[in-house]
Amino acid sequence: MGFFEFVFGKVDILAVVAFVFATLFITSFLKSALQRFPRVCYWLDNDFAKVCLSWTVGAGVFVALHLTLTDFPITQSTVLQFAVWVLLLNGGYRIITVVRDMIRDWKNKQN
């Protein structure tokens, strides 16, 4: 079994969609809620801290999916699969934010 077949082969689409959106929304909510605390806000300026927060939220969502979806087992392969999904999610989010910032800068230069 190759890497791409492992990651994208037997994927429960509902679980992946729920995982991605729940992780994104919960992480975004926590970042905005934690901005009220200066020490935490300073800590979240570091990219490593953001990734740690995302991994923690991802692990919580993963366990919540196991408890809510009856056909979603926690096995070694599903843990590895969703660990790769968290990495892809973090990388995709980073690309989206860079592109969003580039578009904002381009719009501001035109005005």
pLDDT digits (tens, 9 = 90+) for 53-72: 777 888 888 888 888 877 77
Per-residue pLDDT, 9: 62
Structural domain contains residue 3: no
Q: What pTM does this model have?
A: 0.62
Per-residue pLDDT, 111: 65
Residue type, 56: T
Structural domain contains residue 92: yes
Number of domains in the chain: 1
Q: How many residues does the chain have?
A: 111
Structural domain contains residue 28: yes
For 14, the domain range is: 10-110
Residues 6+ apart with CB under 8 A from 11: 81
Q: Is the pLDDT of residue 90 over 80?
A: no
Structural domain contains residue 5: no
Report yes or no: 65 and 15 within 8 Å, Cβ to Cβ.
yes
